[in-house]
Amino acid sequence: MTCVFQNLKQIIDKICLEKTSVKEEIIAKCDASYVSPKFADKFDISANHAMIIASNMRENPNQIAENIIENLKKHEFSENIADIQNISGFINIKMQDKFWQKIALSVMKDQNYGFENIGKGEIVNVEYVSANPTGPMHIGHARGAVYGDIIANLLQKCGFSVIREYYINDAGAQIDKVISSVQFRIKQVINNDFSENLPDKCYPGEYVIDCAKAAIEKFGKDAQNADLRKFIIDYMMSLIKEDLAKLGVYHSVFTSEQAITDANLVEKAVSVLKEKGLIYTGILEKPKHDSNKEWEDREQLLFASSKFGDESDRAIQKSDGSWAYFTPDIAYHFDKFNRGARKMILVLGADHKGYKKRICAAVSAISDSLASVDVKLCELVNFVKNGAPVKMSKRAGNFLTLSDVLDEIDPQILRFFLITKKCDTVVDFDFEKVLEQSKENPIFYIQYANSRCNSLIAKAKTEGFDMPSDFEAFARLINHPKQIEILAKIGQFPRLISHCAKNAEPHLVATYLIDLVGAFHSLWNIADFRFIDKNNQDQTKANLVFIACVQQIIKSCLDLFGVRVMEKM
């Protein structure tokens, strides 16, 4: 079965095209979606066709709605409809129970229920983490790492060809700084003298000493004078990869900024923009705020990014002739484009807000608008323990590492909590609360729901009830109003997944799952409801089919999040 909402939309689309003079481009704007909360107790689905058509054709929406309803009642689909009403131009529909019972059958027949092939092999480049190779993973990068990884999972399950990319920022001043830090520590290690204070421009932390010891082991006592650049970058990247692996985050492609520069791709990208007439020499107007450190009162090489939605044009070259910070990023995204990516997703920290419009402009400009980039900004996570902010790590020196957090918290728990809110919302992570075994702890409540499913199935088996093989016969017997309500929620799952994949919003799946298991748990509060009834074998078997449906959705969501399902609590 295709998405309930998409199926109904297609039926009403066809009615409108056959019975009215409306054009297809107007119909394409119409939708069938969840009913407004105001009417959720009476209806399941709402279609806005009449409203869209009326606004474009200057006609009465109520009259259009009544005509659509009249024709929909003649359609074979009407046998699934219990009630249909025009409410202020919106077509509100209540489905019969048998329609939602068919959802149970669809779930049981398809282990991938909800994940339709909307991507059809389209390449999507998802770049996430891309932390500077200057030390172990900062916990601040964890949210973007999880968010990007789950977006990639979601797209992949929906038929997209996903490139999971990490951009190694190995060509900037921060690399020179970490090299100097390691060289300083090499001298101290060789002399076994740590009395000299660390220079202000050096990175603190025990990991720098460990790197220095590894360099000495490889290069000997002359390590301080060796060409350490590649060795140090590789060492730091190994720390980052190790930390990410603990979190269950992996990448398929690692691209080096230095390699982009060495291949003259920056010059090539600038040349392409020049050919398009988008590079010129001029003086930028001084920004209203003085915090823009990139502004210089001089004639310089500029990229006409304002033509593509940016707030102003951007300098691409510094006064000393070197490229501006932004310019290699243009080349890098041009490289992504040349590797086949027409759709790109870039997960960054909230401190990159000012960067969003310019990189979107650059991708549009250099690809002739054939490619686009969706920039997702991840806000801060406040880690709290015993009511106070968690202190910095001794190993890192001046920040809390991902490894420190994972020493205390299961990565499965961390992954789930980091995806429960929209990425641009600040999240508070309380070490005590995430370990609570109560319904206030969403991951516990979800795992408990799955455990309850297993317990019911096991108990039914001991009493002589196996999972029926004739799903269709017993799906028809799922009839308690609360069960029908839950099946209707499951019917929403394909549309939800499609929306989340198209808009890179995986947090909505977490919200949905929390709501679904909440409804499932509420069945235990209904006095006249029993999952297992020895005196009603058919109803018990129908309930087993229902349980299996709920359990499959739970497992599908947790699998998407990269969270293992706990069979017992």
pLDDT in tens, 308-364: 999 999 999 988 889 999 999 999 999 999 999 999 999 999 989 989 999 999 999
Hey, what CATH topology would domain 168-252+379-435 get?
Rossmann fold (3.40.50)
Task: Please determine, for residue 291, whether its predicted confidence score (pLDDT) is greater than 60.
Answer: no
Q: What is the DSSP letter of 316?
A: -
Report residue 445: phi and psi, to 5°. -65, -35
> For the segment 51-70, what is each residue's pLDDT rounded down to a tens digit?
999 988 888 999 999 999 99
Are 383 and 139 in contact by the 8 Å Cβ rule? The answer is yes
| CA angle 169–171–331, rounded 5-degree value | 75
Sequence letter at residue 467: M
Which amino acid appears at position 77 of this protein?
F
Under DSSP, the state recorded for 317 is: B
Dist. CA 374–CA 148, nearest whole Å:
12
Residue pointed to by tokens 């699998």: 559
pTM of the model: 0.91
pLDDT at 394 over 80: no
Cβ contacts of 230 within 8 Å, gap of 6 or more: none
Average pLDDT in the chain: 92
In order, the DSSP letters of 196-255 are SPPPTTS--SHHHHHHHHHHHHHHGGGGGGS--HHHHHHHHHHHHHHHHHHTT---SEEE
Q: How confident is the model at residue 1, as a pLDDT? A: 46
Which residues make beta-bridge pairs with 282? 300
Cα gap 49→98, rounded to integer Å: 25
Q: What share of the chain in percent tops pLDDT 70?
A: 96
- 168-252+379-435 shares its CATH topology with 263-378: yes
Q: 386 or 396: which carries more pLDDT confidence?
A: 386
Q: Are residues 454 and 552 in contact, defined by beta-carbon separation less than 8 angstroms?
A: no
Partner residues linked to 32 by β-bridges: 47
Q: Does domain 263-378 have CATH number 3.40.50.620?
A: yes
Where does the pLDDT of residue 554 fall: very low under 50, low under 70, confident under 90, or very high at 90 and above?
very high
Q: Which helix (H) or strand (E) holds 559?
A: helix 537-561
Strands lying side by side in the sheet with 314-315: 279-282, 300-303, 314-315
pLDDT for 304 = 96
pLDDT band at 154 (very low <50, low <70, confident <90, very high): very high
Q: Does domain 442-561 fall into CATH 1.25.40.10?
A: no
pLDDT score of 456 = 96
- Under DSSP, is residue 421 helix (H, G, I), strand (E, B) or coil? coil
The CATH number for 4-95, chosen from 3.30.1360.70, 3.50.40.10, 3.40.1180.10, 1.10.3130.10, is 3.30.1360.70
| Tokens (6 digits) for 328 | 């290699």
Total Cβ atoms within 10 A of residue 462: 8
Has residue 296 got a pLDDT over 80?
Answer: no
The pLDDT score that the predictor gives to residue 396 is: 56
| 3-state SS class at 398 | coil
Task: Give Cβ neighbours of residue 57 (< 8 Å, ≥ 6 apart).
Answer: 21, 22, 26
CA distances to 25, 282, 293, 378 from 325, rounded to whole Å, are: 42, 18, 12, 21
In 3D, which of 242, 164, 239 has the Cα closest to residue 208? 239
Q: Which two tokens stand for residue 23?
A: 């054009």
Cα–Cα distance measured from residue 115 to residue 552, given in angstroms and rounded to the nearest whole number: 13
The helix/strand/coil state of 430 is strand
Is there a contact between 149 and 237 (Cβ–Cβ < 8 Å)?
A: no
Output Rg (C-alpha) for the chain, integer angstroms: 29
Locate the domains of the chain by residue range. Answer: 4-95, 168-252+379-435, 263-378, 442-561
Percent of the chain, pLDDT > 90?
77
Q: Which pLDDT belongs to residue 52?
A: 93
Axis crossing angle, helix 537-561 with helix 142-157, rounded to the nearest 10: 120
Distance CA 101, CA 479 (A): 8
Q: How confident is the model at residue 251 (pLDDT cuts 50, 70, 90)?
A: very high
Would you say 478 and 523 are in contact if contact means Cβ atoms under 8 Å apart? no
Across the range 91-97, mean pLDDT stands at 94
Structure confidence at residue 292 as a pLDDT band (50, 70, 90): low
Residue 30 — pLDDT band, cuts 50, 70, 90?
A: very high
Distance CA 485, CA 113 (A): 18
**Phi, psi dihedral angles at 300 (to 5 degrees):** -150, 170
Check if the beta carbon of residue 5 is closer than 8 Å to that of residue 47.
no
